[in-house]
Structure 1
Amino acid sequence: MELWVVIPAYNEERSIGATLRRLAEQTDADFGLVVVDNGSTDTTAEVVRAFADDHPKLDLRIVPEREKGTGAAADSGIRHAIAAGATHIARTDADCLPGPDWIAAVKRAFDDGLEMVSGPLRPRTDEFPLKWWERRLLPAVIGLAATFGRFRPGNQDPLFLGPYVMMPGCNVAITADLYERAGGFPRTRIEDVHEDRALVNQVRRLTTAYGLRADVVVHGSVRRLRAFGLVRTLGWYADHRYRPDVVDIR
C-alpha cells in the first residue's frame, strides 16, 4: 500500500503549520504528502516550503492550482499523488488536526477491505476558548447534517448500491482505483457544490465497500461555526440554504 495525503489550501498561513506538524508526528510515518496551493494571496506556500525544509524526512510536495475551489484543488492533488504512485489517498484540510493515529487507522480500514473510509470529526480546542457545551456543538451539527443527508432527496436513487454515509472532505480516504472509477471530486467551488457529498454518491453507484471507522479521527476548525452561528451553519451544510457574503472564513 502506498498512501498519500492531500491537503487543499487557500490563504491558510496561520493554520497549515499546525496541520503539517500533526501529520509529521503520526505514529505511522510511511506516507507521502501533497499540499495544493489554491491560488493563495498570503504566505501559505512559503510556510509549507519552510516546513518541508525543516522536516527533510517528510515527503512533502506543494502543487499549484489556480482554478478556485476545494473540489478542483483536491482533485488536482489526488491526481498528482496517483501519478506519483499512490495506491491509496487520504484527504484532510489545512485548518484541521488529524488524530496521532490517523494514518495507521486509515490503513487498517483499507486492510479490512474498505475502499473508502471516513470517521468522526471533532472540534479543535486550540483555536478559541471553548465552553463545555461548545465542545459538543460541532458533533451535534455534524450529526444533524448526517441525519438530513440520509433523507435528502438528492441522496435517494434506486441505482445506489448502499446507504448514504456522510464523509466530510477533511476526513476521508479512498483507493486510487475507486477514485478514478468514480470520476473523482467534481472540480467545483465549495459555495456551488459540496464535493465530498458528490463523490460519496458517485461511489455509491459502484460499490458497498465504504464506511465509517471510529478510530479515523480528525479535529476540525470551528471558525465557520463561530462566524455563522449554529442555525446559519446548519443552513450552509443543508444545500446552501444560507449563503454568506464571505465563504472563506479566516
Structure 2
Amino acid sequence: MALVEVTEGGTVRWLPRVTPLVAPLSTGDAAFERLREVMLSMTAHRLSVQLEEGGIDRAGVALARLVEALPPHRALLRLLALVRFIQGRDAEADGLLARVSGLAADAAAGQGAAAVPVPEAGLERALRALERRRSDHQVVGSVVIPAYRVEGCIGRALDSVDRAVRYYRQAAGDADARFHLCVVDDASPDATVEVVRAWSQAHPEHSLSLLANSRNGGAGRSRNLGAAMAMGPYLWFLDADDWFLERHLWVTATALDSHPEIGFVRTGIRFDSIDRDITPIWRSASEATYPCNLCVRRVCHDLIGGFPDEEPFNPAGPEDVCYSRALQSLFAGAKTAEPTVCYTLSDGNVFDKLKADMLSGRPPGQGAPPEPVHLAAELLIRRRLYALEAKRGMDWNGPPILPDRSGRMIAL
C-alpha cells in the first residue's frame, strides 16, 4: 500500500508501494480501516506539530491537499478548520466543522446509534465568541449626547432616540438593527449620571456607554470624546435638552446609504416655541450649523478633526459653526427640508439673546460689534480651514474630497 508523508516544506508525498509480508488488505476490511486511521492520525499529529512551531501556512497547504485527495477524515478536517480560523477564514472553518459533525452523525447511524452532538471545544467556542462580538459591534451608527446639568430633560432625549430606533427597525424591516448611544457627562453637579444609569438599566436592549469627565470641558470636547467611543459608520449628535423626532435616524441613514458621494446629511428643524415666528434667514443659518440635525460619516468627522474645544468655543461659543464650515469645506452634503429634530430655546438662559436675534429680522452676524472672544473664535476657524487645505487630493477610502471650498449640497 502507499503511505502518506508530509515533508518539512509542507509537501504531501506518497511513499512507494512495498511488497507486503502478509496477505494484502483491501478497502473496507476492518484491519485496513484501522491502519488507515492510524496513518492519518499520525499525519494529523505531525501537521499539528508544525502549527505549534508557527508553520500555519505550510500546514494549511498540506492539510488542504490531504482533505481534497483522501476520503473525509475528522482529525484532518478539524485541524484544517483550526488553521482556517487562525488565518481569519471563519466561514471556511465553520463549513469544515459542519463536515466533522456530519461524519460523526454518519458514523453513529452506521452503528445504529442515535447521533450524539459533537461537544463544544475551544475552536467552536472561539468562533462563537467572534460571532457574538461581530453582532455586538455591527451597528448602524452611534448617537453622541453631551450632558451637563440636564437631570430634568435627558430622559426625554434618550426616549426620543429609543423611538427613532424603533421607527428605523420597522421602516427597514430589520428588527435587529442596532444603534449605540454614548452619553458624555461633562462633570455635572446634579443627578445627570444617575438618570442616565437608571434609563440604561430600564432599556437593556440598547447599547449605551456613559463617560464621565472629571472637569467641565464644553460640548465640543464632550462630542469628540463620545465620537471616539462610537461604533458603526455613522454619527449623530443630540443635545440633552433637545430631542429627535421618530424619523430622524431613518431619514438620515438612508440618505447616506443612497449617496456614497456625500459626507453628511442635514434635515429640517422644529424650533419648539418659536417655530412659526423664526425668520427664514435664521432658520436657514441654523439648519446649516446645528449639530443635532446632522448625520455624518465617522471617517469624515475624524478627518476634519472633530469639534473645536479651545477656550473661545466654550461654554457657548460657535463650535458648531466651526465644525460645519470645516465639514462643508471638504465634503459634499445633502439636505432635506423635513423636520426631524426639535430644538429647545428655554427662557431665562444663555439663549435668550439668541432667541431675540432669531426673531429680529437681522441676518446672523449683524448687530453689535463682535467681542474679542468671537474674533478669536473666527481666527481659530480660519486657521483650521487653512490646515484642511492640505487634505485635498489625498488618497483615502471615504467619500470624495472636494477640489475647493465652493461647497456642494444636494436636495433630497
Residue identity matched to 2:155: G
In 2, Cα distance between equivalents of 1:204 and 1:135 = 26
In 2, Cα distance between equivalents of 1:190 and 1:136 = 30
Structure having the larger proportion of residues in helix: 2
Whichever of the two has the greater Rg, that structure is: 2
Please, which of 136, 140, 146 is the counterpart of residue 2 of structure 1?
Answer: 140
Please, which of 286, 298, 303 is the counterpart of residue 176 of structure 1?
Answer: 298
Matched, 1:104 2:250: yes
Are the counterparts in 1 of residues 217 and 314 from structure 2 also a CA contact under 8 Å? Answer: no
Unaligned runs of 5+ in 1: 125-129, 150-164, 244-250
In 1, Cα distance between equivalents of 2:367 and 2:226 = 25
Are the counterparts in 2 of residues 70 and 190 from structure 1 also a CA contact under 8 Å? Answer: yes
Structure 1 residue 240: Cα displacement: 10
Please, which of 162, 167, 187 is the counterpart of residue 309 of structure 2?
Answer: 187
Label 1:148 to 1:179 Cα distance change in 2 as closer, same or farther (>3 A).
Answer: closer
Are the counterparts in 2 of residues 145 and 238 from structure 1 also a CA contact under 8 Å? Answer: no
In 1, Cα distance between equivalents of 2:179 and 2:366 = 34
Asked which structure has the greater RCO (Cα within 8 Å, sep 6+), the reply is: 1
Are the counterparts in 2 of residues 37 and 62 from structure 1 also a CA contact under 8 Å? Answer: yes
Residue number in structure 2 paired with 1:202: 326
Q: What's the TM-score, normalizing by structure 2?
A: 0.47
Identity of aligned residues (%): 24
Residue identity matched to 1:7: I
Residue number in structure 2 paired with 1:73: 222
Are the counterparts in 1 of residues 307 and 319 from structure 2 also a CA contact under 8 Å? Answer: yes
Label 1:63 to 1:203 Cα distance change in 2 as closer, same or farther (>3 A).
Answer: same
Q: What's the TM-score, normalizing by structure 1?
A: 0.74
Residue identity matched to 2:282: A
Label 1:25 to 1:199 Cα distance change in 2 as closer, same or farther (>3 A).
Answer: same
Runs of 4+ in 1 over 6 A off after TM superposition: none
In 2, Cα distance between equivalents of 1:107 and 1:166 = 18
Are the counterparts in 2 of residues 118 and 216 from structure 1 also a CA contact under 8 Å? Answer: no
Please, which of 262, 272, 276 is the counterpart of residue 136 of structure 1?
Answer: 276
In 2, Cα distance between equivalents of 1:36 and 1:43 = 13
Residue identity matched to 1:217: T
In 2, Cα distance between equivalents of 1:240 and 1:198 = 21
Q: Secondary structure at the match of 2:168?
A: coil
In 2, Cα distance between equivalents of 1:183 and 1:240 = 31
Which deviations, in whole Å up to 9, do the C-alpha atoms of 1:22-52 show, x marking residues without a partner?
Answer: 1112212521100110111100010000000
Please, which of 198, 205, 209 is the counterpart of residue 50 of structure 1?
Answer: 198
Matched, 1:93 2:226: no
* C-alpha RMSD over aligned residues: 2.9
Residue number in structure 2 paired with 1:28: 168
